[in-house]
Amino acid sequence: MTGFSKTQFFRRSSVLLGALLFAAGVGAQNKLTIGSSVHSLFSLPLYIADSKGLFKEQGLTVEIVNFQGGATATPALLGGSTELQSAGTENMLKVVQQGQPIVSVMSVQSTLNGALMLRKEFVAKLGKKPTMADLKGARIGTLARGGMSDMAVRYLLAENGLTERDVTLVPILGYDKHGAALAAGEIDGSYGVEPVQTFWSEGNLKAFSMVDMLKGEGPAVFQDMNWITLQGKKDWIDKNRPVVTKVVRAMVQAQKFIANPANLEQVTDLAMKTFPNVPRPILRMSIKNQLHTYAPTITEAGIKKNNDLLIMTGNLKTPVPFSQVVDMSYAPLWEEYKTK
């Protein structure tokens, strides 16, 4: 065997070390953590992209972390604990106006998948189908002050000539705690997001659905509003465009798969991996009600609705420009949703 000179040895060693570092860097880039601001079906495309192996097909290793609202998810994003998040657009606008450079790269769910639910005992006591006026004096659960559930209730009240002084808004983190509070009679109603309201209405609570956005009920501002978007810090997205492209492509593929009614049974089976405690018939029903809402295109009209909602509820002073919060370079990937 021929020996190497010191010069040859160090040269070859440096080349090998460089190759190893490059390989390690590529691996690190393709491994990321994505947050969901709430464990909800609004992030179904994220969950399906993972459970169906669509992320792996793109060469990605993705860890999904569920939070208890934007108030906990966004600090994790800003602090680097997550690289991307599936979260409320309205929360992103508030944070951006505070000076944080967050942008969205696709819409995850377009229409608000929430409903104002009431205890069956509350409705029975009224002896009739309740109206918003009947909520005077009621205790309504929301997730957190300034969050979407809180704003949705306030908007509904204002649309019907009521204010927060007419009801008691009770912030409770975690929908499991909302369900317990409803069962115990500690609150009279709650604003929940899927699959919560289907679980509450079809399960033991037999809660009454008063206003269901997925059925087109309530103010038009909650329809096609790009309410959930995939978001990240602008500098991280700029530095990791190949990775973000893979994530968006995988999630658009998941949206196409979900939107096809023929795939409902398989989508439900895959979703059971993420929601094992929800009875399959209830989960299937919930998903079926939302098939039309999972689409990737972000529109100026959708962002305007979020701005309008925030300004009307006193959470924003001036509208945040569309161009400041939407990275349109990913728009060609959105078009893949429309292809057969």
- For residues 83 and 180, membership in a common domain is answered with no
- For residues 202 and 255, membership in a common domain is answered with no
Render pLDDT for 184-228 as a digit per residue (tens, 0 to 9): 999 999 999 899 999 999 999 999 999 999 999 999 999 999 999
- For residues 214 and 242, membership in a common domain is answered with no
Buried b (16+ CB within 10 A) or exposed e, 201-213: bbeeeebbbbbbb
Q: State the CATH number of the domain containing residue 95.
A: 3.40.190.10
- 148: which 2 tokens? 């979407």
Residue 25 lies in a domain: no
- For residues 130 and 218, membership in a common domain is answered with yes
- For residues 323 and 189, membership in a common domain is answered with no
Residue that terminates a domain, selected from 163, 190, 222: 222
- For residues 198 and 279, membership in a common domain is answered with no
- For residues 79 and 127, membership in a common domain is answered with no
Residue whose tokens read 């009920």: 217
Q: The domain containing residue 328 runs over which residues?
A: 31-111+224-338
Minimum mean pLDDT range among 144-153, 160-169, 184-193, 300-309: 144-153
Number of domains in the chain: 2
- For residues 208 and 260, membership in a common domain is answered with no
pTM of the predicted model over 0.75: yes
Do the Cβ atoms of 255 and 230 come closer than 8 Å?
no
Residue that terminates a domain, selected from 222, 244, 269: 222
Count of residues for the chain? 340
Render pLDDT for 83-141 as a digit per residue (tens, 0 to 9): 999 999 999 999 999 999 999 999 999 999 999 999 999 999 999 999 999 999 999 99
Render pLDDT for 267-283 as a digit per residue (tens, 0 to 9): 999 999 999 999 999 99
132, burial (CB in 10 Å: exposed 0-12, middle 13-18, buried 19+): middle
pLDDT at 6 over 60: no
Residue 19 lies in a domain: no
- For residues 229 and 333, membership in a common domain is answered with yes
Residue that terminates a domain, selected from 167, 201, 222: 222
Radius of gyration of the chain (CA): 23
If DSSP codes are grouped into helix, strand and coil, which group holds residue 188? coil
pLDDT range class, residue 17, cuts 50, 70, 90: very low
Give the span between the Cα atoms of 182 and 208, in whole angstroms: 12
Do the Cβ atoms of 59 and 30 come closer than 8 Å?
yes
DSSP 38: B
Residue 204 lies in a domain: yes
- For residues 56 and 74, membership in a common domain is answered with yes
Q: Give the residue, 9 or 111, on which the prediction is more confident.
A: 111
Kindly give, in sequence order, each residue whose CB lies less than 8 Å from that of residue 109, ignoring residues fewer than 6 positions away.
42, 43, 44, 45, 227, 228, 290, 293, 294
Q: How many CB atoms lie within 10 A of CB 298?
A: 25
* DSSP string computed for 41-73: GGGHHHHHHHHTTHHHHTT-EEEEEE-BSHHHH
